[in-house]
Structures are given as C-alpha cells and as structure tokens.
Structure 1
Amino acid sequence: MLTWAFTTTVTGLLTLLVFQRMCYPYFWDDLIYYLKLRKVGAAVKSRMTSGVITYLDCFVHQARKTPGKPFIVFESQVLTYQDVDVRSNKFANVFKNEGGLKQGDIVALLMSNEPDFICVWFGLCKLGCEVAFLNFNIKSKSFLHCFQSCGAKTLVVGSDLVSSREEALRSLKDNGIDLWVTDSSSSLEGLHTLLDKVEKASGEAQPPMETTLAKLMSNFLFIFTSGTTGLPKAARVSHIKAVMCMGFLRLCGAKASDNIYVTLPLYHMSASLLGIGGCIELGATCVLKKKFSASQFWKDCQKYNVTVFQYIGELCRYLINQPKTEAETAHRVRIAAGSGLRADVWREFAKRFGKIHIREAYGLTEASVGFLNYTNEIGPIGRAGYFNKRSLPFDLLKCDPNTYEPIRTESGRCSRANQGETGILVAPVSAMNPFLGYAGNKEMSEKKLLRNVFQEGDVYFNTGDLMLQDHRDFVYFRDRIGDTFRWKGENVATTEVSETLGGLDFVQDVNVYGVSVPGYEGRAGMAAVVLKPDQKLDGSRFYNHLVQNLPAYAWPWFLRVETSIDVTETFKQQKGKLVLEGFSPEAVQDPLYFLDVSQKDYIPLTQAVFDDILSGKIRL
C-alpha cells in the first residue's frame, strides 16, 4: 500500500512538472523574481519603521553602517561612505551659512561626473532643497529654458564648465540668480566660490529634518527628458520613485561585494537613481567615470576589478564596434544592467565578451512603471505574467494607427490590446505610483494623463511607448510614438527595421525614420547608415537582405551614408534634424541613395532622380 501511494505521488509530481515545463516554462523564473521583489519591498518597509524613509535617509544609514567601505572610486581618488557623508555636510553648511539656502529652495546643478557632484547633491538634500540636474551638453537656449522651467533661484556649476557657459551665466547673474562654482577661485565676476569655503567648513551634520511617509509622495528631484523631439521637459521625481529605483541593481543580481561601473552622466536617472542609488542600497562600491570611453572600457574593468556595469541605448554597440583586444575577455564582469539594447547587438555582445548576464530593463523618469528581463531570452524588456502585474500594474491599450490615440468603445472606455498585438503602455496613477508632472508645463503634464480608461474616475499615465506582449508573456518594446510612421497603410516600427539592417555585416550603425514625399500619404522609410571601416555600400546585398527579412512597406526607400550617428547624451538616436532635411540632395551633404526596385539595387540619388520623384515620373 505504501509503495503504491509513493509511486502514485511521484508519478503525479512528475506529470505536474512535465505539464509545467510544457505549458508554463517560466513559472519558476517568474515566481523567484516576484519573491525577490517582495523581499526588496519588505526591506524598504523595515527601514521605514526605523525612520529610514527617503533616498538621503538610506545614504546616511549606509554611511553609519559601513563608514569605511569605499563608496566612490574616481580615477585615483577613493572616497568612503563616511568621506562622502562628511564632505556633503560641509557643502550643506556652506550653502546654509554663506548662501542662505533652506528647505524647499530649488537649486540647479550643472556638473560633470565627479565625486563632488554627489557631495554637492547630498549636501543640498540635507538642507531640504529640491535639486534640478542640468544636462551639461545642451546649448545656451536649451540651458536657459531648463533653468527657468524648474523655477530655480540658485545654480551650482562645475569648474570645468564655466568657460563654455560664460554668456548664459552672465545672463542668469543679471536676472538675480545666485551662482556658485566648485572651485577655489573664478575669473568670471559674480560667481561665489565653493571649495575654499568647504575646506574651512564644519563637517557636522545638519539637525535632522522630520521625515514622514507623506513626504514620500512629494518632489525630490527635477530630471530633464533628453529632448529628442523638442526642448527638454523638467520631470518631477517623487521621493518614493527615487527609493523604488534603489532596488534595481539588487533585482539584477548585484551584491554588496560588487564594484559597479557607472559611465553614464549623473544628471540622468539611470546613473543617479539606479546606479548611485543601487550602490547605496547594496552598500556596494561605485567606480565612477567622467565620460564613457569605448576604447578604455574593458581596460577600466580590469584596472578597477569591475563586476557589474550599467549601459543605456547604444553603449554596447559602441563596444562591439571596437577592435578586438585581450582585455575584452580578461575581466570579471558578470552582470550588465540597463536598457535600450537592440537584439542584434545583444547577440553579438553575448558571443564576444564572455559570460556576462545581460539584464535588459525598461523604465521612465516620470512614472514608476517598469520591466526587467530576468531570463536569458534575447530581445524582450521583461515579462508580463501574473506575478509581475501584481507587483507593478500596467496595461497595453489598443490605439488608432494614424493618431496613436487609445481607441474608445461606444461607452467611452478603452480596450486592452490582445496578445501579439502592439498597444500603448499605460500605468494607473496612484499613491504608490504618482505622476507629479512637468515643472512649468501644465499642458504637457495633462497630455500624459488618460482619464476614465476602464471605469469612471480612473487615471492612467500614458507612456507614449508602443509595446507588444507575446503568447509567452514576454514584453517587447516596439517604438516610441513619434518614431513609428505609416507607409502604404501600414505601421512601420523603426526599431524593428534598425535591428534588421544591423544584421548586414558591412553596416556599423543605423538610424531609421520616415520622410514626407509630395503626392504620397504617410511617410516613406529612410535610413541613415554608418558603414564599417574600409567597407562600401553594397546596394544589391542591401536589397536582398530587405526582401528576405522585411515586408515591402517597411523597406527604406532612401539611404543616407554618414560617418557617425547623432545621439543624445544618453545615446538615444536623434531623428528630428534628419527628418527635416529629408532626401533632398541640396539639403543633405552626405551621399544619398534611392531604392530602384527594377534594378534590385540602391542607386545614387542625384538631383535628376530627386526631380523625377517629385514630378511623379519615378513612383515609390
């Protein structure tokens, strides 16, 4: 009897296991990740009960817990958690006693990647100031726009950035803005120097401010969007959003013993909240780089014993386009965490650089919706199974293919996209997922909200990103509204076309977009391509590749051969200027080519060919 019962039980369990592997192959991956999320959440709640509530609280807590642990390694400098704590206290005392700054003041920060970026930021936080991170790459017009939109009355500028901003700084000074420079002296009149005062300042901490759970919903930072489609917007980042970001590296598998390489600009959320915040949450060491260098990357990984690094956008593409070296496999990197990694680059990266676990993710500055691909599947940004939606609820909505507005039923409600169907990603706005809007731009803030989506009174944040959930519950990023275009009555996803063209062995980089052609509805496909060194454009091979891999409506009719692709500071491809210049030989100085289907080849786009397209003699 016992033997029969045992055999029956084992047989039942084996049958159940086979059924699970066949029908729910990622069940255990999903469950383990969900339990990790719960564990991280439980740790946050535990800290909160002891008064460790905000991002700054977490840093101070870690500085007391592991004061002698290296926190920031920058070139030849090593600053422990205690070093940064004390130095940030000194900055706080200078700003309070010399500058009169107090709780609630808004201070803009314009600095390159360096330890004092973090010390100044934390010092201002200790006074209760709201800090606005300014992009040091933007030009004067955008710079002044950003400063004014966030409502700051004080600016802290890095010593290395003063000379390139003299005109803008004088303009701010004339308008009564208080200017500080991280230097002991300044040749520009009207700038208050910091370092000479910091040397003499007390390292004593400011009296602790009262922090409550209610404060979690208030504004912590201003982080600016990259401005790929216009002037940057100042996104308000809540305290709770910042705290949630701190768990990212832990969820990717990072540990306290890791040396985490951050080459991304600190004014970007990925570096400041996910990277620095992730190190704080773990008690790990951050190896900070002033600026990303593809040629130095693997050498730095060896030199600083890097075990985890962050990537974003095309950073990994830059690495695979570098000549092969011994250093690229003689390292101890085990995790690469980030977002925006195209599938073709992903495959090449995985083959070339050793056993590195890639943790592709998706997130937004403005809201707390996000995904993480914790499996080994190449391509998806995450999963959308039962456990995931319990953690961070979201939906994909059906949308109009022309306007990309959500489709509403007769009752006025939105409809969910089906599996395998592309839809707009939206997330409910709630106490745990607030949307604080864009500073100085109420109209744009309201445009990001969808109301009465599934029931009367509900409010959802519209990400503006098109996603697809497949039958296995993997989620794929398809495109950002504005990048997608329609041609011949079909939607063309620029990301998909870029990945396909990236498979050509003579193509190094590619940027796909749509251009208007007189006499045609929609926009025709065009691609700006960078060829690999010593390679030429092979138009017939290009054509054959399109035939084999893409539907005809997605083929780029025009090619623009460039020496490099214009990108933002976070490696997002710039399309606006390319779209405006179109395919006119007069407007474009780069070599242009046109797809001649009859010849099954790309031919030079001369003025005569251009005129024939406009007159209708050549049909697309």
Structure 2
Amino acid sequence: MMAWIGWVFTTVGAGLFALLLFQRITIPYFWEDFIYYLKLLNVGKAIKSRMQRGVITFIDCFVNQANQTPDKAFIVFGGQTLTYQDVDKRSNQFASVFRNEGGLKKGDHVALLMRNEPDFICVWFGLSKLGCEVAFINFNIKSKSLLHCFESCGAKSLVVGADLVEPLADLLPVLKEKTIEVWVTDTSCPYDGVTTLLDKVEQASGLALPDYPRVDLTSNFLFMFTSGTTGLPKAARVGHLKAIMCMAFLQICGVRSDDNVYITLPMYHMTSSLLGIGGCIQLGATCVLKKKFSACQFWKDCVKYNVTAFQYVGELCRYLVNQPLVPEERAHNVRVAAGSGLRADVWQEFSRRFGKINIRESYGLTEASIGFVNYTDEMGPIGRAGYFNKLSSSFEFLRCDPQTYEPVRTALGRCVRANKGETGILVSAVEAKSPFLGYAGNKVQSEKKLLRDVFKEGDVYFNTGDLMLHDHRDFVYFRDRVGDTFRWKGENVSTTEVSEIIGSLDFLKEVNVYGVSVPGYEGRAGMAAVVLKTGCDLDGKTLHSHLVQSLPGYSWPWFLRIQTSIDVTETFKQQKGKLVQEGFSPETVQEPLYFLDQSQSDYVPLTLSLHNDIISGTIRL
C-alpha cells in the first residue's frame, strides 16, 4: 500500500514537474502575465467598491484620502511640507476665491500656466472642486501657440504663476481684448488687468464648499495639449474615467503607501499630474516635488528626501548616466522607477550603475486609454501582448503601408492584423470603458484619429499613430511615431507648427521640418530642409532670434539643409522619408548643411569635422 502511494506521489510529482517544464519552455511568462492580470482585476474591484461608497472622481479620491490620512505628508517641496489636509484646505480657499471673486462655476474652462509648485496642485484641485474644466498649458510655448491654446479649449480665465507673468506681458493686452480674465498666484502685480490671488486666498475660508457639484463620470475632466500631425497643439479631452484609471499606475508598478515619490517632470504632462500626483493619492503616498529636473542634484535629492520611487522619461535617465560619479548614486533607497521612452542601452547602463532599481517601462497616450507596462525584467520592451493582456485591454497591431502608414485593407475593406515579428500600427478599440473624447474645437482632427469598420461593420478604433513590434514571445517594442511629429528632449514636436513659424521669415520660400537620429540621444533632433527665395541668402542670426521669440527650445531645428526645391507627393504633401534617412552627414548629403551654434546664436556651416564632433559627443546638443 505504501509503495503504491509512493508511486502515485512520484508519478504526480513527475507529471507536475514535466508540466511546469513545458510551461517554462513554451509560455515562460505565463505566471508574470497571470499575476499582473489578477493585479488589474483587484485594482478594478477596489475602484468599483470605492464608487459604490460615492467616491467617484479624481477629486473625490483626493478628498477621501485627506479625510482618511489628514496628517500624512502629501507634498514635499524644498523646505516646505504640506499634508493631505493642508492641500485640501488650501484648495478650498482657492475654490472660494474663484467662485466669490471671479464667478467661476461648473462647466467653465480655465487655463493653468504654472511651473511645478504646491499651488499648481491647490489651484487645480480648487477649480476642479467648483466643477471647472482645467486646461494645463505648457509654459515653454510662445505667443501664437499660447493664443491658439486658449481658443481651442475655450478658456475664458487664465491662472498664471508669479514667475511667468513677465514673459506673458506682451500678450496681456491681447488677452484683455479677448475678455480672458487673468489671475496671478501672487499678492501684487505691476500689470493692469491682472487679478492677484494670494492676498485673497489668505483671507478665504478653508472649509469645503457647501454645494459641491456632482459630475458625470463620462464627462470631461481636463484639457491636455498634445502636438500631433496638424501643426499647433491640440486640446485633448481627458475624461473623469481616464483620470481614475491613471491613478492606479504607480500601484501597478509596485509603489506603496509608505513610499516617497520624486516628481521632477513638468506638471502639464499627464505623467506627472495624473499618473504621479494621482498615483500618490491612490496610495496615500508622499510626493517629493521638484520645480525643475536637475541631473546634478537628482541623487542628492533622493538621499536628502529618502526618495524610494521616481518617474522618468527616457531622456531623464540618459542625462543621469552621462553625469559624473557621485557618492549619492549608490547611497539612495530608490526601489522603483516608472516611466517611458527608456532606450535599451541606457536601461542597461542605468541598472549597472545605480544599483537594484525595479524599472517599470510603460507606454500610454493622453487622449486614449490604451497603455502597456513592462512588469518583467526584460530590458527594452514597453509591455506585453499575450492572452491575459488582451483580456484587460482591446488593442490590435495593424499592417500598414510603409510609405503612407495607412492601414492596409482587404478587397472587402477590412484591416489586416500584423503578424508577430512584423511592425504594425497600434490601434485601440473605442468602447464605453475606453472612450475617445476627441480634441476640443477640432472635429476634423478628432475624426482623423478614428478608424471605422476595421474588422467588422460599425466597429471603431483609435489610431495611435505609433508603430509597434509584437514579437514571438509576446513582448511589445516601440518602433517609431508616424506622421508629422517627432520626440526630442521628452517633448513631442509638431513639424507643421515649426515649419509655419520658420516659414514666416522673408528670406525663406519653403520649409520642410523633420526629425533625425543622433547617436547617444533619445528621440530625434529637429532638422529643416529649406528653399531660399530668389536673391536671398541664409540669415542664421535672424532665424535664431526668431526661434527664441517664437518656439520652445526643444522645437528648434539643430540642422539645416539648403535645397533648390522641396520634394512632394502627388497630393502635394512634403516628402520626409528620404530626408530622414539621409540625415545630416556631409558625406551623404551633397547640398549645403548648417548647424545651430548656440554660442554664436547663429547657424554655421556643418563641416565633416563638426559632424564627427557631434557624432562622438564632443559637441552636445
């Protein structure tokens, strides 16, 4: 009998071992995928349970956390610490001033132009408590783009940081003419027509509003501006449901309630505001907020504030690995780094140099709910696309034309899925759980982002415009961004916008802007092929001055290529593919090339020697 029992146990054990061995060989990431799927299910159940208790929106979650952990540190900013209760009360004060002094109410659109500071959050939350829809404005953009932002999102009020009023001075008369009320987070202001806030906030009540407005979960929460394929920034609508989903990001990446999360990226980005601040609220964690990223201060701050998690974009990590060695880079307590855009070679060096940090590379979009997280130790992918991943998110990779990047359709008009190992364009199903609210004031571009009748009549998918590779192990790799946009210094650059602004100079006839790869850098550096007007020469100093006045630094073209004409397609669209491929090498390009020498505030001839210095890293961009 004992022998028979022993035989059964041995047989079962051998069978289980063989099954486990088969699983490890054929589907090695089964358990990682399954555990991640269970984690998403648990997050979903927690959100549903919270909503049943009346805690529905992003702001509801914050107020609920402030009630549960009032004395917990929420924002650490330099030598200043604000608890959850402090931020709740101060945001109530802002809400009271905006309603009583400005007459703001539910449904009003308000633009917010501020750098990273605690009052960014307090103003944002105060306006949201009134039911206002806040538009986060990139403080780097200049006059024309800034006015476009107001017009596209329909903002009738602007809240500006005290340190940004002076750069805005030239636009104040125009804003007044457009009846846009301007508030400044200061106690005084030398400019006419600007209403001060802080003197009034100090006198306002910190009690919650008695008539707290309720909102529809499917309605719009914020406007965030994204550069796309159509020139000027587009105001992407971010719904309440999307904001709630974003709050779970840090938790999914392994951040805990006892963590101190270091946020150095600008708050107008979804990464910092919804994923970062929202993630801290979800967990009841502490945010260590930095006004501006500093590579030389980064690890010192991590030690000083006992940072245990931080957010990144790929460019940030590259800056860190290029810094000289400091003792703090090994003396920190950082466990988790969560972000996107981390190149595999930088990833490897980062892990080697800075110790055991769990890197959680991810992918997401402002205007859509599709997202990936790489929860494995594999370096390079942005996430996975296996069976369990498909259960939690409706996405596909479509085969596309290599020249136009339009999805390939069959004779019946249906799209074709890309094979594993083949680069395809990522699309996401537009459903009740993953809606696309479109771009404010731009129905044409909103419709252009949608693909209809993809696999069957009546279905609708959001076209991300991003090329991905789904490999045979179910890992997903980001390959490129199609259209007239490229990424540089962690920002999206619209080639159409840059072309229009440069093209306004009187010595230029035509301008074609695109991005080129530079060894050692994330994304692509700006380059412009230009045609000079008859009888005109290139005036590099005037061009540089024009760029300083009109565009943020990350949008400036580093390289110029002088052409006699611009190649276009049959539909007169500028061709960029060949230009991108040829890059900026004097050995490849036979036409005159120029490089932006910032020390001279001028474009200088790009010689082979200068080119080699750029490639080797002797000259930094």
> Partner letter of residue 331 of structure 1?
H
**Structure 1 residue 496, shift from structure 2 partner:** 12
> Partner letter of residue 199 of structure 1?
E
**Structure 1 residue 578, shift from structure 2 partner:** 4.2
Q: State whether structure 2 residue 194 is matched by structure 1 residue 191.
A: yes
**Structure 1 residue 576, shift from structure 2 partner:** 6.0
Among 42, 45, 55, the residue aligned to 1:42: 45
Match of 1:286 in 2: 287
Q: State whether structure 2 residue 606 is matched by structure 1 residue 592.
A: yes
CA contact (8 A) 1:483 1:513 kept: no
Counterpart-to-counterpart distance in 2, 1:184 and 1:515: 44
Counterpart-to-counterpart distance in 2, 1:105 and 1:162: 22
Cα RMSD (Å) of the superposition? 2.6
**Structure 1 residue 57, shift from structure 2 partner:** 0.5
Instruction: Describe the superposition over 1:21-44 as per-residue Cα deviations: whole angstroms up to 9, x where unpaired.
Output: 111111111111111111111110
> Partner letter of residue 370 of structure 1?
G
**Residues 388-467 of structure 1: matches in 2 within 5 Å?**
388-467=389-468
Q: State whether structure 2 residue 112 is matched by structure 1 residue 109.
A: yes
SS in 2 for 1:267: coil
**Structure 1 residue 173, shift from structure 2 partner:** 1.2
**Structure 1 residue 51, shift from structure 2 partner:** 0.5
**Structure 1 residue 594, shift from structure 2 partner:** 6.2
**Structure 1 residue 592, shift from structure 2 partner:** 2.8
> Partner letter of residue 323 of structure 2?
Q
Match of 1:93 in 2: 96
Q: State whether structure 2 residue 207 is matched by structure 1 residue 204.
A: yes
Counterpart-to-counterpart distance in 2, 1:199 and 1:249: 34
Instruction: Describe the superposition over 1:477-533 as per-residue Cα deviations: whole angstroms up to 9, x where unpaired.
Output: 000003799xxxxxxxx99966xx43xxxxx77846888799xxxxxxxxxxxxxxx
Counterpart-to-counterpart distance in 2, 1:174 and 1:483: 33
**Structure 1 residue 171, shift from structure 2 partner:** 1.1
Counterpart-to-counterpart distance in 2, 1:580 and 1:368: 39
SS in 1 for 2:271: helix
Among 176, 179, 193, the residue aligned to 2:179: 176
Match of 2:8 in 1: 5
Match of 2:304 in 1: 303
Cα 1:182/1:496, change in 2 over 3 Å: closer
Taking structure 1 as the reference length, what is the TM-score of the superposition? 0.82
Counterpart-to-counterpart distance in 1, 2:394 and 2:12: 37
Match of 1:217 in 2: 218
Instruction: Describe the superposition over 1:374-424 as per-residue Cα deviations: whole angstroms up to 9, x where unpaired.
Output: 001000000001111110110000001110000000000000000000000
Counterpart-to-counterpart distance in 1, 2:458 and 2:96: 47
CA contact (8 A) 1:263 1:290 kept: yes
Cα 1:289/1:517, change in 2 over 3 Å: closer
**Structure 1 residue 209, shift from structure 2 partner:** 3.8
Give the number of equivalent residue pairs.
531
**Residues 349-368 of structure 1: matches in 2 within 5 Å?**
349-368=350-369
Cα 1:602/1:69, change in 2 over 3 Å: closer
Counterpart-to-counterpart distance in 2, 1:265 and 1:282: 21
Among 145, 164, 167, the residue aligned to 1:164: 167
Counterpart-to-counterpart distance in 1, 2:140 and 2:19: 57
Choose 220-229 or 414-423, whichever is displaced more.
220-229
Match of 2:254 in 1: 253
> Partner letter of residue 33 of structure 1?
Y
List gaps (5 residues or longer) in structure 2.
Answer: 487-513, 532-550, 563-578, 585-590, 596-602, 615-621
Match of 2:233 in 1: 232
Match of 2:243 in 1: 242
Counterpart-to-counterpart distance in 2, 1:509 and 1:221: 29
Match of 1:468 in 2: 469
SS in 2 for 1:439: coil
Cα 1:318/1:374, change in 2 over 3 Å: same
SS in 2 for 1:119: helix
SS in 1 for 2:331: coil
**Structure 1 residue 170, shift from structure 2 partner:** 2.1
Percent identity of the aligned residues? 67
SS in 2 for 1:314: helix
Cα 1:240/1:512, change in 2 over 3 Å: same
Counterpart-to-counterpart distance in 2, 1:69 and 1:345: 36
Counterpart-to-counterpart distance in 2, 1:38 and 1:208: 34
Cα 1:358/1:496, change in 2 over 3 Å: farther
Cα 1:578/1:407, change in 2 over 3 Å: farther
Cα 1:593/1:418, change in 2 over 3 Å: farther
Instruction: Describe the superposition over 1:4-57 as per-residue Cα deviations: whole angstroms up to 9, x where unpaired.
Output: 211111011000010011111111111111111111111100100000110000
**Residues 321-360 of structure 1: matches in 2 within 5 Å?**
321-360=322-361
CA contact (8 A) 1:108 1:134 kept: yes
> Partner letter of residue 107 of structure 2?
G
> Partner letter of residue 111 of structure 2?
A
Match of 2:34 in 1: 31
SS in 1 for 2:242: helix
CA contact (8 A) 1:90 1:201 kept: yes
Counterpart-to-counterpart distance in 1, 2:444 and 2:237: 15
**Structure 1 residue 148, shift from structure 2 partner:** 1.2
Counterpart-to-counterpart distance in 2, 1:398 and 1:252: 31
CA contact (8 A) 2:530 2:560 kept: no
CA contact (8 A) 1:287 1:304 kept: yes
> Partner letter of residue 441 of structure 1?
N
CA contact (8 A) 1:53 1:211 kept: no
> Partner letter of residue 52 of structure 2?
T
Instruction: Describe the superposition over 1:423-461 as per-residue Cα deviations: whole angstroms up to 9, x where unpaired.
Output: 000000011111111111111111100000000001000
SS in 2 for 1:216: coil
Counterpart-to-counterpart distance in 1, 2:178 and 2:101: 20
Instruction: Describe the superposition over 1:285-319 as per-residue Cα deviations: whole angstroms up to 9, x where unpaired.
Output: 00000000001101100110000000013011111
Cα 1:22/1:514, change in 2 over 3 Å: farther
Match of 1:611 in 2: none
CA contact (8 A) 2:515 2:527 kept: no
**Structure 1 residue 370, shift from structure 2 partner:** 0.4
CA contact (8 A) 1:153 1:177 kept: yes
SS in 2 for 1:477: strand
Cα 1:516/1:77, change in 2 over 3 Å: closer
Counterpart-to-counterpart distance in 2, 1:453 and 1:579: 40
CA contact (8 A) 1:478 1:495 kept: no
Counterpart-to-counterpart distance in 1, 2:66 and 2:341: 33
Counterpart-to-counterpart distance in 2, 1:483 and 1:169: 32
> Partner letter of residue 61 of structure 1?
N
**Structure 1 residue 232, shift from structure 2 partner:** 1.1
CA contact (8 A) 2:516 2:524 kept: no
**Residues 437-586 of structure 1: matches in 2 within 5 Å?**
437-482=438-483, 501-502=519-520, 511=524, 574=555, 578=559, 584-585=591-592
Cα 1:586/1:34, change in 2 over 3 Å: closer
List gaps (5 residues or longer) in structure 1.
Answer: 486-493, 503-507, 519-567, 596-600, 605-620
> Partner letter of residue 92 of structure 2?
N
Taking structure 2 as the reference length, what is the TM-score of the superposition? 0.81
CA contact (8 A) 1:245 1:278 kept: yes
**Structure 1 residue 342, shift from structure 2 partner:** 0.9
CA contact (8 A) 1:478 1:496 kept: no
